[in-house]
Amino acid sequence: MKNKEIKPKTLECHVEKMFNIIGGKWSFLIVKNLFSGTRRFGELRMNLHGISPKTLTACLRSLEFHGILTREVIPTIPPEVRYTLTEKGMDLQNVVNQMKIWGEKWSER
């Protein structure tokens, strides 16, 4: 398996498939932010301390591509862009809840 050789899908387990869809920390933090409802780009940027606009844009584009969220452009001046989780995205709540429980229990130990 040299460098960027594409690994046959059949070798990927469900956990790996999930990561290949969602990505890493920032994507999960974006999803977590959207559990409570639709957010604008600026709101997400404000809530996600330390994320760069470039990373936020890339994560949102990937999450949209994988059907985790939808993107809606409101034709105001300037135009407003809103992001909303799909059912597929909302269904990540159990994963994120278990992450919270683990983080709360172990992160200071």
Compute the distance between CA of residue 80 and CA of residue 72 in angstroms, rounded to an integer: 8
Q: Rule CB under 8 A: say whether 57 interacts with a second copy.
A: no
Taking CB under 8 A as the criterion, which residues in 64-83 touch a second copy? 67
Among 42, 53, 65, 91, binds a second copy (CB under 8 A): 91
Shortest Cβ distance from residue 63 to a second copy (Å)?
13
Compute the distance between CA of residue 40 and CA of residue 95 in angstroms, rounded to an integer: 24
CB distance 31 to 90 below 8 Å: no
CB distance 66 to 22 below 8 Å: yes
Q: One-letter amino acid identity for 104?
A: E
Structure-token pair, residue 18: 């999930």
Among 37, 50, 75, 79, binds a second copy (CB under 8 A): 50
Q: Rule CB under 8 A: say whether 107 interacts with a second copy.
A: yes
Which residues make up the interface to a second copy (CB under 8 A)?
1, 5, 7, 11, 13-21, 24-25, 28-29, 32, 49-50, 67, 88, 91-92, 94-107, 109
